[in-house]
Amino acid sequence: MKTSISVIGAGYVGLVIATCLAELGNEVTLIDIDELKVNSIRNGVSPIYEEGLEDLLRKVNMQVTTDYEKTLPSKIIMLCLGTPSDESGINLNYISEASTKLAGILKRRQDYSVINIKSTIAPGTTEGLIIPSLEKSGKKAGKDFGVCMSPEFLREGKAINDFMNPARIIVGEHDRTSGDVLCQLYEHFNAPIMRTSIKTAEMIKLASNAFLATKISFINEIGNMCKQLGIDAYDVAKGMGFDDRIGNKFLNAGVGFGGSCLPKDLKMLIAKAQEINYEPKILEAVLKLNDEQVVRMLDLLKKHVQLKGAIIGLLGLAFKSGTDDVRDSRAIGIVDALLKEGAIVKAYDPLAIKNFSQIFPQIEYVTIEQVLNSDAILILAECEEFNKLDYKGRIVIDGRRVAKAREAEIYEGICW
Ligand code: UDX
């Protein structure tokens, strides 16, 4: 059934969701306080790099505005605000400000609408922060308006496919009526719908990402042992993965996980555990091991090269291939350490140089050939084009399993 939907927050999740919902024929209004971003989207220019998104954006009919008033006709209002981590922990300001603004609109609404939270938040945040903010409107959740928490599980680089073909749809509902409205929106998706409480939905999102991160740190731990034992961690992962209780996905050993989700969501869960005086042993170990993979990469490099004054070439700056996103990329810790050791860094990435140069304006961004002419090369992302290069005669430390690099004169895989 076609619905009138407002999406608040045109970041990664909000922009992808709004565009996909419009593509599915819903009447969509996308709202963001950033005027520049709104104008760019209105002109069909996506502020983020995501395969297929710009074409879809130019195809769909969607209202894009900074004006919260435009949410008035919408039956469903999706809150897709960022919850980034900063020095003080998780920043809930954006979602808190949006809830307060929305309360001003709700105050004047006579009809029933459902507020659906899509942002990644710790268990208890919707009931503890968002609903009280919305009820400053004088309206009651579950009576005058509905509330749901329905997390997204999009992967960068595959976001449109992941939205259109979800593995599952989680509907955390304040009450049955709220959930009914959301289930109607998703009724034509070919995926199981799980209805549950709001707190449970919040935890499902964090636990899912924490488990993916745990799988990666687990295989990296096994991989680190394999390295010392002369075993290939990828063969081990293959043997493990035949068992569908284990599954063969997310067992690619390497320099570790990055991005705007896995590290942050782990930290959010650890902070929540500490808040309730629970010691999250596994979660803390997952994060610690992930940080140590960067040090391992550098130790392997130092086995072969004196860093002071050496030219070190980097292949891959984004947190993974197929994106321009450098948030919590492994390359950040690597460059930081190389500069501290007095190395000269020459870096290449097919998409992420612009974003990475915001963090490290002082290093050289060069062509792929110039990286190959360095004293040693570190591979930090599994980009297709890296598998076509000539590595003969080079020193290569591989953190992402690029098969062609094995032809190098000196080749070290971090876990193989
Ligand atoms: C992740 C989750 O997959 C997605 O469901 C959630 O909604 C958001 O967070 P994303 O951040 O796009 O998505 O990245 P993902 O593809 O999961 O990769 C995360 C990191 O793990 C990357 O740095 C990647 O290089 C690394 N990784 C992934 C491994 O090191 N080994 C693997 O086997 C898989």
Q: Which two tokens stand for residue 190?
A: 């070919």
Q: Where are the alpha helices (DSSP H) in 310-359?
A: 330-340, 353-359
The alpha carbon of residue 270 and the mean position of all alpha carbons in its chain are separated, in whole angstroms, by 18
Residue 259 CB–ligand 1 contact under 6 Å: yes
Closest Cα to atom 9 of ligand 1: 261
Q: Which two tokens stand for residue 347?
A: 């870096």
Strand partners, 344: 311
What SS3 class is residue 60? coil
Pocket test for ligand 1, best of 262, 287, 414 (most atoms within 8 A of CB): 262
258 CA → ligand 1 middle, Å: 7
Residue 258 CB–ligand 1 contact under 6 Å: yes
Residue 257 CB–ligand 1 contact under 6 Å: yes
Tell me if 331 sits within 8 A of 316, measured CB to CB.
Answer: yes
Closest Cα to atom 25 of ligand 1: 320
Atom of ligand 1 nearest to the CA of 249: 33
Amino acid at 14: G
Among 146, 147, 91, which Cα is nearest to 120's? 91
Atom of ligand 1 nearest to the CA of 158: 12
d(CA 82, CA 117): 11
**Residues 6+ away with beta carbon under 8 Å from 354:** 324
Active-site residue identified among 148, 261, 383, 415: 261
16 CA → ligand 1 middle, Å: 17
pLDDT of residue 2: 82
pLDDT of residue 89: 81
261 CA → ligand 1 middle, Å: 8
Residue 319 CB–ligand 1 contact under 6 Å: yes
Strand partners, 376: 312
The alpha carbon of residue 377 and the mean position of all alpha carbons in its chain are separated, in whole angstroms, by 27
Q: Which two tokens stand for residue 272?
A: 């929540």
Closest Cα to atom 19 of ligand 1: 257
Among 381, 369, 83, which Cα is nearest to 252's? 381
Residue 262 CB–ligand 1 contact under 6 Å: yes
Look up 80 and say whether it is catalytic: no
Per-position pLDDT tens, the chain of length 416: 689 999 999 999 999 999 999 999 999 999 999 999 999 999 999 999 999 999 999 999 999 999 999 998 999 999 999 999 877 788 999 999 999 999 999 999 999 999 999 999 999 999 999 999 999 999 999 999 999 999 999 999 999 999 999 999 999 999 999 999 999 999 999 999 999 999 999 999 999 999 999 999 999 999 999 999 999 999 999 999 999 999 999 999 999 999 999 999 999 999 999 999 999 999 999 999 999 999 999 999 999 999 999 999 999 999 999 999 999 999 999 999 999 999 999 999 999 999 999 999 999 999 999 999 999 999 999 999 999 999 999 999 999 999 999 999 999 999 99
Phi, psi of 300 (to 5 degrees): -65, -40
Among 130, 90, 81, which Cα is nearest to 106's? 130
Pocket test for ligand 1, best of 261, 382, 398 (most atoms within 8 A of CB): 261
Closest Cα to atom 22 of ligand 1: 257
Please give, one letter per residue, the 3-state secondary structure of 307-322: CCCCEEEEECCCCCCC
pLDDT of residue 87: 76
Tell me if 315 sits within 8 A of 381, measured CB to CB.
Answer: yes
Atom of ligand 1 nearest to the CA of 319: 23
**Residues 6+ away with beta carbon under 8 Å from 111:** none
Residue 252 CB–ligand 1 contact under 6 Å: yes
Atom of ligand 1 nearest to the CA of 329: 23
pTM: 0.96
Residue 360 CB–ligand 1 contact under 6 Å: no
Closest Cα to atom 21 of ligand 1: 257
106 CA → ligand 1 middle, Å: 37
d(CA 34, CA 10): 9
387 CA → ligand 1 middle, Å: 21
32 CA → ligand 1 middle, Å: 26
At CA 298, angle to CA 230 and CA 378, rounded to 5? Answer: 85
Where do the DSSP E strands lie in 362-409?
364-365, 376-379, 395-398
Tell me if 254 sits within 8 A of 237, measured CB to CB.
Answer: no
pLDDT of residue 90: 85
Residue 212 CB–ligand 1 contact under 6 Å: yes
Residue 154 CB–ligand 1 contact under 6 Å: yes
Tell me if 89 sits within 8 A of 52, measured CB to CB.
Answer: no
The terminus-to-terminus CA distance of the chain in angstroms comes to: 52
